[in-house]
Amino acid sequence: MHGVQGLLSRAGPLICGAALLLGTAVPAAAAWATTGTGQGAVSARTMPQAAGATATCLGAGSVRITWSASTLATSYTVQRSVAGSAWTTRGTATGLSYDDPVASVVALSVRWRVIATRTSWSGPASDPTATRTVGSLSCA
């Protein structure tokens, strides 16, 4: 009997401690909330200049204009200047080349340039290609 009593007397405080732990509500750690109102910033890109425009004779009556891909561009506008005249738009391409018929141009100096576009945005025109002397019978 003494052995059992001794065991109970030793276990008593432990049981009481466990009961306290189980029975006592632990207060929740309350976190304070805070807010702020102010300015932030975001900016817009700029349409890059098309680059690497090159004019290659395909034979008499046609010239192929090629260029490098431009970030953001979804299409390209090709323009032509004949004998130093104002630039006129020849057409658009979604790829990286455009074949321009030149049969109606008779032995005159011609240059091309390319403008990268995306929806309503357009970039600066590329540097002009080297001059080609083209016509219905020749391209050089």
Partner 1 sequence: MFSWTFALLLPAGVGLALWSATGSGTGPAKARTAQALVMTAGSAVADLYPGATGDVRFSVANSNPYPVTVTSGTATAITTVTGGLGTCAATDFTLGTGSVASTVIPANGSANVVLTGALTMKLATGDGCQGATVNVTATLTGTQS
Chain residues in the site for partner 1 (CB under 8 A): 31-47, 72, 118-122
| Residue type for position 134 | V
Distances (CA, A) of 91 to 44, 96, 97, 115: 28, 13, 11, 11
Spatial distance between the Cα atoms of 68 and 114, rounded to a whole number of angstroms: 10
Residue with smaller CB distance to partner 1, 28 or 140: 28
Residue with smaller CB distance to partner 1, 14 or 44: 44
| Residue type for position 73 | A
Exposure string over 28-37, b if 16+ CB within 10 A, otherwise e: eeeeeeeeee
Shortest Å, Cβ 29 to partner 1? 9
Residue with smaller CB distance to partner 1, 117 or 129: 117
Shortest Å, Cβ 118 to partner 1? 6
Residue with smaller CB distance to partner 1, 5 or 37: 37
Shortest Å, Cβ 49 to partner 1? 12
C-beta of residue 67 within 8 angstroms of C-beta of residue 53: yes
Shortest Å, Cβ 12 to partner 1? 35
